[in-house]
Chains A and B, each alone.
Chain A
Amino acid sequence: MLSYTAKRLGQTVFVLIGISLITFVLLQVVPGDPVALMLEKRADPETIAKIRHELGLDLPYHIQYYNFLKGAVRLDFGTSYFTKEVVSVALIRSFKVTVKLACMAFVFAAAIGIPCGIFSAVKRGKRIDSVVMVLSIIGVSAPAFWFAIILQIIFGLKLDILPISGFDGVSCYILPSVALGARYAGSMARITRTSMLEVMGQDYIRTAKAKGASRWSVIMKHALKNAMIPIVTLIGTDFGYMLTGSMLIEKVFSIPGIGKLAVDAMSNRDLPLLEGTVMYIAFVFVIVNLIVDLSYAFLDPRIRYGKGAA
């Protein structure tokens, strides 16, 4: 378990360095001089050179990368070219909003998806199973931003019971989290069903039945605890996607989260903000995946007690 953790941690650090390198290289190939872009057409070559020097953009690449890395470690990405806000402040402010949204979406998705998946597995082959599976495939296949707009039309405009934009009160969270969570609810239902069906065919389930355990106990205790092991990994990764992939929903509902920050930074070519958001989002994603992997090991006694593969 310890060596597994150490190995996984080392891998994470390596991946993070790789990500920083790719981000840095991408920044270098951006067409157009960012400083000229920042100052627009007013600037004369002299001022540009001066600012380039101030920003350290005239240094050799490897030193620039070193500075970039040093900054990234301290969460210091400089200030935005446009809003002049310190990037790390903007990141943390927006991230709080996104975390709230992602958590609500996750709770929604898990609360709908997992029970539906279990139910579907238990009622395998019955009509209700087909209904759940069709709904889940629609959930997975409908674009989230489109689903968000439909929710706006139905609940915001036709029924007029929920606000369709902003992020101030609880009622504002409902539509965005449902829109963000829907496709994950679908995928969770499918994964739970598959995993449960596989486990239900195992020998130890027959043993539990032979003991005289009730149907409920066989499903909820013996089967679910085993089925949860793969489910946790997959839904953990889903949470990572919700935290980092909410820009579409944020755009539809005008929510000032990290996704909107990234989209704005991209449309403005606001490089410090852009590298900040990209690094930050990638970092969060990698860390969530790390936690998921470690919790996987914790859930499975075969890995926890180090005897290796199942």
Chain B
Amino acid sequence: MKRTRIGFFNKQRQFEQDMLERGVEYEYSSFYADSLKQLKKNKMAMGCAVILLLLILIAIFAPLLAPYDPAYQDYTAVLAEPSSAHLLGTDEYGRDILSRIIYGSRVSISIGIVAQIVASLVGITLGSLAGYYGGVIDNVISRIMEIFQAFPDLIFAMAIMTFMGKGVLNLFIALGLLTWVRTARMIRGSVMQLKEKEYIEASRACGASTFWIIAKGLIPNCLSTIIVMVTLGIPNAIMYEASLSFLGIGIQPPTPSWGNMISAAQTFISYRPLYSIMPGVAIMITVIAFNIFGDGLRDALDPKLKT
């Protein structure tokens, strides 16, 4: 309590002292600290952040948490009802459903994140080039973006998967290609605005190279946009992965993925409804958590992004 210590000074002094303290505090509290403070106030978003953290921990420590090996087939308990041995029952090969859902989180979350990284790399590169150079380059990139956006999303991913063959790598590419346009558009817009700013002019005048200006001057200023886009893009990618796996052209069994589990469970809905319901619940929780957390991040970091 500094205030009591200076209590005997006159009012003016106290005022100055207060301003000084505020000034020091202000220096340390950067933009991100302010945003974090605002994010912390958003209880829904913070709750979802905790859920996400748990989900990621589950994915990382899956081998420790899962009661069984997801590939272990217990022929004595095929399509077993939930019991103390198998909390959610077993599938048509006698594999523990709970363990498969736990391992499925590895697939879904890692694919969501990697696909978004692919999309962001492509999107940031093309978006900043289009925004920075304008003119012909912008025109060409914008037209390409239009074509990509004009493709209905699922059919596009399906086509790529069919043409290039099934496989995790191709899945990354397909999902990345599906979602890069949004990032590219956002970055293009931000860069177009930012490049007119004085400090960019100044670094240009100092002879900085284009790469330097984009990488050091422009991208860091788009960082909040990028963070928000990635967070909100992950649930999208998770959804696409589940859909493609459900259609049989995403992750291939026996690797467990929430989508292909539902696909397999579909045959047994009449007497083992839980088998198809539980992987969907997992998808839903993950997607909701990412969406609400992403919305919270957006409100805290970049309120203008709100559509």
The residues of A with any CB-CB pair to B shorter than 8 Å are 11, 14-16, 18-19, 22-23, 26-27, 29-31, 137-138, 140-147, 149-150, 152-153, 157, 194, 240-241, 244-245, 247-248, 251-252, 262-263, 266-267, 269, 274, 277-278, 281-282, 285-286, 289
Looking at the complex, which one of A137, A252, A266 makes contact with B288 (CB distance below 8 Å)?
A137
Closest to B292 in A: A137
B247 pairs with A245, CB closer than 8 A: no
Closest to B291 in A: A141
A245 pairs with B154, CB closer than 8 A: yes
B152 pairs with A143, CB closer than 8 A: no
Q: A137-B292, A247-B247, A278-B159 are in contact. Are A241 and B152 (CB under 8 A)?
A: yes
B155 pairs with A281, CB closer than 8 A: yes
Looking at the complex, which one of B146, B280, B291, B292 makes contact with A143 (CB distance below 8 Å)?
B280
A266 pairs with B158, CB closer than 8 A: yes
Q: Which 10 A-B pairs have the closest CB atoms?
A: A146-B280, A244-B152, A18-B147, A141-B287, A266-B162, A26-B163, A141-B288, A15-B150, A285-B152, A153-B273
A263 pairs with B262, CB closer than 8 A: no
A289 pairs with B150, CB closer than 8 A: yes
B150 pairs with A282, CB closer than 8 A: yes
Closest to B306 in A: A194
Looking at the complex, which one of B150, B161, B163 makes contact with A29 (CB distance below 8 Å)?
B163
B276 pairs with A146, CB closer than 8 A: yes
Question: B298: shortest Cβ distance to chain A, in Å?
Answer: 13
B280 proximity list for chain A (CB < 8 A): 142-143, 146-147, 149-150
Question: How far apart are the CA atoms of A26 and B158 in the complex, in Å?
Answer: 12
Complex interface bits, B224-252 against A, C-beta within 8 A gives 1, otherwise 0? 00000000000100010011001111000
Question: How far apart are the CA atoms of A137 and B296 in the complex, in Å?
Answer: 14
Question: B225: shortest Cβ distance to chain A, in Å?
Answer: 19
A152 pairs with B269, CB closer than 8 A: yes
Closest to B271 in A: A157
Interface of chain A, main secondary structure:
helix
Question: A130: shortest Cβ distance to chain B, in Å?
Answer: 10
Q: Is B85 an interface residue (CB 8 A)?
A: no
Q: Is B153 an interface residue (CB 8 A)?
A: yes
A152 proximity list for chain B (CB < 8 A): 269
Closest to B164 in A: A29
Q: Supply 13 further A-B pairs (C-beta < 8 A) apart from A145-B262, A245-B154.
A: A26-B160, A137-B288, A142-B283, A146-B276, A146-B283, A149-B266, A194-B307, A241-B153, A247-B158, A251-B246, A251-B247, A252-B266, A269-B162
A274 proximity list for chain B (CB < 8 A): 159, 162
Q: Is B270 an interface residue (CB 8 A)?
A: yes
Question: How far apart are the CA atoms of A29 and B266 in the complex, in Å?
Answer: 33
A153 pairs with B155, CB closer than 8 A: no
B270 proximity list for chain A (CB < 8 A): 157
A11 pairs with B146, CB closer than 8 A: yes
B47 proximity list for chain A (CB < 8 A): none
Q: Is B253 an interface residue (CB 8 A)?
A: no
A11 proximity list for chain B (CB < 8 A): 146
A-B contact pairs, 30 of them (CB 8 A): A18-B144, A19-B151, A26-B159, A26-B163, A27-B163, A138-B284, A138-B288, A141-B284, A142-B280, A142-B284, A143-B280, A143-B284, A146-B276, A146-B279, A147-B280, A149-B276, A150-B277, A153-B269, A153-B276, A153-B277, A157-B269, A157-B273, A194-B307, A241-B153, A244-B152, A247-B155, A248-B154, A252-B266, A262-B158, A274-B162
Which residues 261-302 of B have a CB within 8 angstroms of A?
A: 262, 265-266, 269-270, 273, 276-277, 279-280, 283-284, 287-288, 291-292
B239 pairs with A262, CB closer than 8 A: no
Question: How far apart are the CA atoms of A285 and B150 in the complex, in Å?
Answer: 7
Question: How far apart are the CA atoms of A286 and B146 in the complex, in Å?
Answer: 10
Q: Is B204 an interface residue (CB 8 A)?
A: no
A31 proximity list for chain B (CB < 8 A): 164-165
Closest to A21 in B: B147
Question: How far apart are the CA atoms of A104 and B235 in the complex, in Å?
Answer: 27
Question: How far apart are the CA atoms of A11 and B43 in the complex, in Å?
Answer: 45
Question: How far apart are the CA atoms of A281 and B150 in the complex, in Å?
Answer: 10
Closest to B273 in A: A153
Question: How far apart are the CA atoms of A274 and B243 in the complex, in Å?
Answer: 19
Q: A29-B163, A245-B153, A263-B158 are in contact. Are A143 and B239 (CB under 8 A)?
A: yes
Closest to A137 in B: B288
Question: B261: shortest Cβ distance to chain A, in Å?
Answer: 10
Question: A262: shortest Cβ distance to chain B, in Å?
Answer: 6
Question: How far apart are the CA atoms of A142 and B282 in the complex, in Å?
Answer: 10
A248 pairs with B291, CB closer than 8 A: no
B154 proximity list for chain A (CB < 8 A): 244-245, 247-248
A16 proximity list for chain B (CB < 8 A): 150
Q: Is B41 an interface residue (CB 8 A)?
A: no
Question: How far apart are the CA atoms of A274 and B155 in the complex, in Å?
Answer: 10
Closest to A183 in B: B239
Closest to A241 in B: B152
